[in-house]
Structure 1
Amino acid sequence: MAAPQWPTTTTTASACIPDTARGTHVFTVAGYRLHKGIGVGNFIRSATFAVGGYDWCVCYYPDGFSAEYKDYVSVCVELQSKKSVVRALYDLKLTGLSSLIFSRPSSFPAFDSCKNEHFRGAYTFMRRGVLEASPRKYLQDDCLVIQCDVTVLLKKIPAVATTTAKTPHIEVPPSDLSNNLARLLEGKKGADLVINVSGETFYAHKIVLAMRSPVFKAELYGPMAMCDTEKQCIQIVDMQPAVFGAFLHFIYTDSLPDMEDLLDSHDKREVMRHLLVAADRYSMNMLKLMCEVILCKGLDAESVVATLALADQHRCSKLRDACIEYIKLFC
């Protein structure tokens, strides 16, 4: 007797896929306060950049696009190619220590340099009062950094019909391995390792630590390892308990604990520095790289020299390059 089979249904579909070209330009406006007061409708133009075979630029209006928007800074995208009609989508983002601020149209508007319709943008990009009330969020050393992403619609590809056989859809849930390991760490069940860090005790599993770190593997299972007739106890010096707790969390979950509500930006930066040292000490390369990325994003004039010294000491080339570039631009 033949085995039963799932019933099969036939589905046809077609798609019309637009051909697009995308480019990004970052426009840094140095001296925000110096440019205030140049007058409503006056703007500062970025360098010209090309996307999709057309020339573009970003226009920044410190005192607003017109009298109607005098309480705002306005940002526009300008098509500079002469006698051209282009449909293009644009994203305008103000980057800083806070989240990005987005401004974008809902569809592809037409830029027409023949009809003097070559300007499109965000006339209410950001209210100046909000911008100046939180300068540390948006103004880095009195500089605005505006990112413009332009997507040009070039042409359309004819629709092509396809036929597919539809089978029952079974959705596989995402892996919960990291959650299970986090609960294993929190519950201490089966822990065979006691770790003392500056007077604070942590419980862990030797096999997990050895699997994640070659240094722990040599220490716990190498020739000099203790016999594990009972729980093995090790001491870790020159590390803060809070830093080791975050380090242990990463070992079990491949992620950092949420520190946003517990630490201010200065304390978080210090924890990242100590975590980078711990990652280097225990050959945890992914954690080391994550710390580099976080420290790169948090560079400021007060900390950049110390961060550069840390990068040199622990052979962090990406962090070192970021520090040097920051010093060149802002110090």
Structure 2
Amino acid sequence: MKRHHTVSPKTVSTCIPNISQGTHIFDIRGYSDLKGMGHEEFIKSGDFPVGGFDWAIVLYPDVNTFLDLDEITAFLELRSEGGDKVRASCDVRLVDQITGNSSSAHPTTKNVKLFNVDEVRRVNCLMMKRSEFEAPPYLLDDRITMECVVTVMHEPRVSRARPIPRINVPPPNITEQLGKLLESKEGADVTFDVAGETFAAHKLVLAMRSPVFKVELCGLMMESGTQHIAVTDMQPAVFKALLQFIYTDWLPGTHCFEGEDNGEMIRHLLVAANKYDVDRLKLLCQSILCKNLHARNVATTLALADQHNCDILKDACIEFMSFPNMMNDVAATQGYKDLQRMAPSVLAEAMEKMSKIKKMKRN
């Protein structure tokens, strides 16, 4: 049973903080009369709303006196009933009675604290030396003013996931366009006569893809009108396949050329690719011939590889011939006898390399 894989599009969502902030001015007058009431007594501000909750500032002027500590302590208290846990911070600033400016008395209290109506309703928001708190310019004319900035952190705002905009770009099609140019013959400025069959082409494309064509057509490029060139050493079908590869970098129906029955066509294409120095086609032909090596054709292919400077294919043939019990079948072929008669040096070189290969395998 086939499984179908569905590729989901890329999506994006955003998350941004969701905060509410409010400032409460807690003005304490007659401070000296309000302190000294005992360490359990406190001064509390009126309730003030921030972020949908009610809050209050609770100051204990004498709590640390009982512990013999020189400190003033204040708390931020959640006054609302019910509801979930609340995250909030409080920055307590003392107002300079002379300039009217304020400065943070306890910067560390800006950290977000967790409030819970059933457990934690207060968190410390001020701890300051009494000698500083109860001295000018903060305490003046028996008055002290606290500016309390409360920040409530709500659940972050998260947007709905949405697809990321994208523009699809089709795959490159320049080779397809060049193939159509070859087929249409539009703008062709050179023709080739191959065994009575005519092929129209474009000098610039041929020169760009083949160093040999570039040299051959260099002078013709300066001339106007269509030029005619005769090709006397190639079959029309081979020249047609060569042109198609030059224009499209692709050998139409490559799989059709594979197999022993089509080996002759590939051999002719290899010769053409070597003649016009079309390296990739030459390598492609070598690859096809290598995949279709057989005892019946390896000697002929070796001779072809040596004749047309195909060292990779030549080495592949020698490696193939060095397979166990292969040489008896190879030696019985006409191709081997031809190689023995017409290129004995090539055969001698192959035998020497085969001997080294077998020796390496034994070791």
Q: Which structure is larger by alpha-carbon Rg, 1 or 2?
A: 2
1 or 2, which has the higher helix percentage? 2
TM-score by length of 1: 0.48
Q: Which has the higher contact order (CA 8 A, sep 6+)?
A: 1
